Amino acid sequence: MNLKEKVEDMNNMILSGQTMEAFEKYYHKEVSMQENNAPPTVGKDANREREIKSMGMIEELHGAEVKGVAVGDDLSMVEWEMDVTYKGAPRAKMAQVAVQRWADGQIINERFYYSSM
């Protein structure tokens, strides 16, 4: 499977509700993940906990859509739009770009850039 196919498979898994399965399949054991300008979280175990905590903050996901994908040499970028209600917060539409650097067939570094729409 080439990088474009891996990115498409991962996105389809996420869209079908298999977020953690995609995480286990496509994220490197030494992955570093960063939200905007926050300090990165390093290691698969720490990021697994962060992902579970983030998903637990969602009251309802009204929709998500991949708006665009770019793939280069060991680099991919995915543009997402999400319509979500977080617990204790009003419903919001979010735009996000995930920049992913790959090593050994898995994501070794991912940084998310986002704002409210």
Query: pLDDT, tens digit, for every residue of 88-102?
Result: 999 999 999 999 999
Confidence at residue 70, expressed as pLDDT on a 0 to 100 scale: 98
How far is residue 79's CA from residue 98's CA, in Å, rounded to a whole number? Answer: 7
| DSSP string of 33-61, one letter each residue | EEETTSPPEESHHHHHHHHHHHHHTEEEE
Confidence at residue 66, expressed as pLDDT on a 0 to 100 scale: 98
Look up residue 96 and give its two tokens: 């996000």
Quote the mean pLDDT of the chain: 95
The ranges assigned to domains in the chain are 3-116
pLDDT digit string, tens, across residues 27-65: 999 999 999 999 999 999 999 999 999 999 999 999 999
Given pLDDT bands bounded at 50, 70 and 90, which one contains residue 106? very high
Quote the radius of gyration of the chain (alpha carbons, Å): 14
Burial of 43 (0-12, 13-18, 19+ CB in 10 A): middle
CATH annotation of 3-116: 3.10.450.50
pTM of the entire predicted model: 0.91
Confidence at residue 89, expressed as pLDDT on a 0 to 100 scale: 95
